[in-house]
Amino acid sequence: MWWRNNFQILFGLVLIGVTFVRSFELYKNYKIYNVYAQDEHQLRSLYELSKANRKYDFLNVARRPEDISKVLIPPYLNVELREALERLQLNFTLLHNDISEVILKERQENLRNTPPEYPLNAFERYYRHDEINTHLEVLAQLYPTRVYVKTFGWSYERRPLKVITITNGDKRHDKKVIFVDAAMHAREWITPAMTLHIMSELLENYENNKELLEEYDWVILPVVNADGYEYSHEVSRYWRKTRRPNNVGVGEEECYGTDPNRNFDHHWGWEEGASPDPCDETYHGDKAFSEPETQVVRDILRTYRGRMMWYLTLHSYGNYFLLPWGHTNELPDNYFDMMDVADAAAMAIVRATGSSYTYGNTYQVMYPTSGDSADYAVGEVKIPIAICIEMPAGGFLGFDPPVRQIEQILEETWIGVRAMAEVVIEKY
């Protein structure tokens, strides 16, 4: 059997090498800029610039003068972008002249920790979708009275979207539910890692967290956008959307994918907060729930309607706790209950690590969104608490924390998640 195992390892390394070359070549000579806005007028100009040209990949757009915007640019648009920024009198610095070098370093770090051992250690590296699914099945074998795994649906490319339910083993079927999902956006690799860490805290570290399971079951979907997540590993490291092709007409540009977090049926398709352009990073799809992946999240939310008290969706990056609504600066009826939950997390984290978080209405503290999952959960399914955590940044682009930073980011985020859970449990 040793030769078979060695062959599998060798074959896996060859595949990783091939996919690295594709991603490395794709981003050759791509540049990353930091852009600085000095006042509200410049912030608005920067936001409008980010929407005016979809080939400028704004990884984040500042909402406050003290924040930094990042933009990833192909080499042929370098001069054009610089001229646009100068015309708007926006200060900028070149952060990296060739982002493919960053991808090379990231791949080398991930290769050092191959192949995986089960159950997975969330701190060791970024795992692929099939490895994460195998991890769920291993946990079900290790904790047969406490863990249940179910395939809730399939991605467009027919990858199984598996969901794990973690209980305390009391076999009650009427308990309240906390639902966590991650990797709505493909390039946010740190978010599935966070779900693995949550599983570890609830299972391996059960004695220190058992009160979180006395009246609640935890339902976790580690990778929503499985096709995009795999594509970001195999081809395009900074891919964001799903992978269902958009038929935009004969002779038109072939564009793939929908932003899943603009595809939910709550104020879907609004002009501000999403794009009708199939090639745009925030394309809302040709209809609400056009994507099989968002249908799965919808079905989970509906399945636990009445029992689900908290929906937590993990994103990256920026040290934000984002609350409904995204489409307006008006507030939901129980907004201040949600603020209590976010405030507890922010206070717990600053006491433990010194890190500060901004929290509040998404529209006000970050940017407008329409058709996002948290708004749908509160507005349509009537879940009391829905929060999006934008996890801490890492690496050059914010989405790419090196392996050595994974543990620190996950442990900090867990402090916040645990504090949130305690308040939700107390309130509901």
Phi and psi, residue 282, nearest 5°: -110, 30
DSSP letter at 392?
P
Q: How far is CA 11 from CA 5, 19, 115, 127, 345, in A?
A: 10, 12, 11, 17, 44
Question: Cα(182)–Cα(103) distance, rounded to whole angstroms?
Answer: 22
* The predicted structure's pLDDT at residue 20: 47
Q: What angle do CA 300, 263, 400 make, to 5 degrees?
A: 90
* The predicted structure's pLDDT at residue 64: 82
| Confidence category of residue 425, pLDDT binned at 50, 70, 90 | very high
* The predicted structure's pLDDT at residue 24: 54
Instruction: Could you please state the CATH topology (level 3) that the domain comprising 31-97 is classified under.
Output: Alpha-Beta Plaits (3.30.70)
**171 pLDDT higher than 60:** yes
**Mean predicted confidence (pLDDT) in 98-125:** 84
Question: Residue ranges per domain, the chain?
Answer: 31-97, 118-232+285-427
Question: Cα(199)–Cα(165) distance, rounded to whole angstroms?
Answer: 10
**Mean predicted confidence (pLDDT) in 154-172:** 98
Of 12-26, 37-51, 277-291, 403-417, the one with minimum mean pLDDT is 12-26
User: 3-class DSSP state for residue 307?
Assistant: coil
**272 pLDDT higher than 90:** no
| Percent of the chain surpassing pLDDT 90 | 76
Q: What is the CATH number of domain 118-232+285-427?
A: 3.40.630.10
Question: Cα(78)–Cα(74) distance, rounded to whole angstroms?
Answer: 7
| Confidence category of residue 9, pLDDT binned at 50, 70, 90 | very low
Which among 106, 291, 293, 390 is annotated as catalytic?
390
| Confidence category of residue 23, pLDDT binned at 50, 70, 90 | low
* The predicted structure's pLDDT at residue 17: 46
* The predicted structure's pLDDT at residue 253: 54
* The predicted structure's pLDDT at residue 56: 87
Question: Cα(393)–Cα(390) distance, rounded to whole angstroms?
Answer: 9
Do 399 and 188 meet the contact criterion of CB atoms below 8 Å apart?
yes
31-97 and 118-232+285-427 in the same fold: no
**pLDDT one-digit tens code per residue, 371-418:** 999 999 999 999 999 999 999 998 888 888 999 999 999 999 999 999
Of 64-68, 274-278, 390-394, 406-410, the one with minimum mean pLDDT is 64-68
The torsion of the CA quartet 308, 188, 64, 38, rounded to 10 degrees, works out to: -170
| Confidence category of residue 79, pLDDT binned at 50, 70, 90 | very high
**252 pLDDT higher than 60:** no
**pLDDT one-digit tens code per residue, 221-251:** 999 999 999 999 999 999 999 999 997 554 4
Question: Cα(285)–Cα(283) distance, rounded to whole angstroms?
Answer: 6
**Mean predicted confidence (pLDDT) in 152-161:** 98
* The predicted structure's pLDDT at residue 396: 80
| Confidence category of residue 112, pLDDT binned at 50, 70, 90 | low
* The predicted structure's pLDDT at residue 22: 57
**148 pLDDT higher than 80:** yes
Is 40 an annotated catalytic residue? Answer: no
Do 216 and 176 meet the contact criterion of CB atoms below 8 Å apart?
yes
**pLDDT one-digit tens code per residue, 185-227:** 999 999 999 999 999 999 999 999 999 999 999 999 999 999 9
Average pLDDT of the chain, as a whole number: 91
* The predicted structure's pLDDT at residue 73: 92
**87 pLDDT higher than 80:** yes
* The predicted structure's pLDDT at residue 4: 40
